[in-house]
Amino acid sequence: TGRCVVAVDGPSGSGKSTVSRRLAVGIDARYLDTGAMYRAVTWAVLRSGVDPADAEAVAKVAGEIDLRIGTDPQGYGVTVDGVTVDADIRGPEVTGSVSAVAAVPAVRTLLVSRQRDMIDNAGRMVVEGRDIGSVVAPDAELKVYLTASEAARAQRRSAQDAADVTVTAADLARRDRLDSTRKTDPLQQSADAVVLDTTELGIDEVVARLRELLVERG
């Protein structure tokens, strides 16, 4: 039925978003940013004054909101109850609380099921996150795990956010630790994922390598 999923996982600052979007444009695929979905739930949690550490209240918010996300790699939009949140979900408040919200099992169950529905309806899709190859789409045609040195990741993220590199490095280290050690669906490298270290590789080289791999796999 032409279904083809490319799963792109890795820590933040590994180049996931840029690589995934560019790959999707190049192979004429849809694109799903699952991190934006966890960020949007976090935005709603903060808006409602709920403590991100209160798992039960967080799960309740997640179940009640109308969360929508587009799949156009050149301009997907995220809305919560009709409010456009694309800019706000990248801010420091959401970034500071997203790992706590993403650790709540009921939130993950809900979002993973939404993600699978979107994948099933997409045909070709590049899906990026932390648990795509391991949980969301274990049957993906291609699984990629992107890494980069901590220094390179902090450098990229701080340039992207126009933020101080030391503060960004500390924030990345904290989020990586939370994301890798949580009980439910932690960030992990699937045994069958192709691992690419982007510390020295340019974005174009990474995208070209992935396209080669897709061709090889038919």
**Known binding positions for ATP:** 10-18
Rounded-to-10 torsion of CA 182, 185, 191, 193: -110
Under rule CB under 6 A, residue 14 binds ligand C5P? no
Under rule CB under 6 A, residue 6 binds ligand C5P? no
Binding flags for ligand C5P, 62-101, as an x/- string (CB under 6 A)? ------------------------------------xx--
Under rule CB under 6 A, residue 39 binds ligand C5P? yes
Which 149-188 positions form the footprint of ligand C5P (CB under 6 A)?
Answer: 175, 179
- Helix or strand or coil: residue 218? coil
Element containing residue 138 per DSSP (H, E): none
Q: How far is Cα of residue 123 from the mean position of the Cα atoms in its chain? A: 19
Under rule CB under 6 A, residue 143 binds ligand C5P? no
Radius of gyration over alpha carbons of the chain, in Å?
Answer: 16
What is the nearest approach in angstroms of ligand C5P to the Cβ of residue 38? 4
Under rule CB under 6 A, residue 130 binds ligand C5P? yes
Under rule CB under 6 A, residue 35 binds ligand C5P? yes
Query: For ligand C5P, which stretch binds (CB under 6 A), given 52-60, 63-71, 126-134, 160-168?
Result: 126-134
Instruction: Read off the tokens for 64.
Output: 């009640």
Apex 99 CA angle, 98 and 105, nearest 5 = 105
Query: For ligand C5P, which stretch binds (CB under 6 A), given 52-60, 74-82, 127-135, 190-198?
Result: 127-135
What is the nearest approach in angstroms of ligand C5P to the Cβ of residue 218? 27
Answer yes or no: are the C-beta atoms of 69 and 40 closer than 8 Å: yes
Bridge partners (DSSP) of residue 197 are 147
What is the nearest approach in angstroms of ligand C5P to the Cβ of residue 215? 26
Q: What ranges in 128-164 are assigned the alpha helix state H?
A: 150-161
CB nearer to ligand C5P: pick between 181 and 212: 181
- Helix or strand or coil: residue 124? strand
Query: For ligand C5P, which stretch binds (CB under 6 A), given 30-38, 143-151, 201-209, 210-218?
Result: 30-38
Instruction: Read off the tokens for 17.
Output: 């978003």
Cα separations in angstroms, 124 against 1, 67, 106, 209: 10, 22, 28, 18
Binding site for ligand C5P (CB under 6 A): 12, 34-35, 38-39, 98-99, 102, 129-131, 175, 179
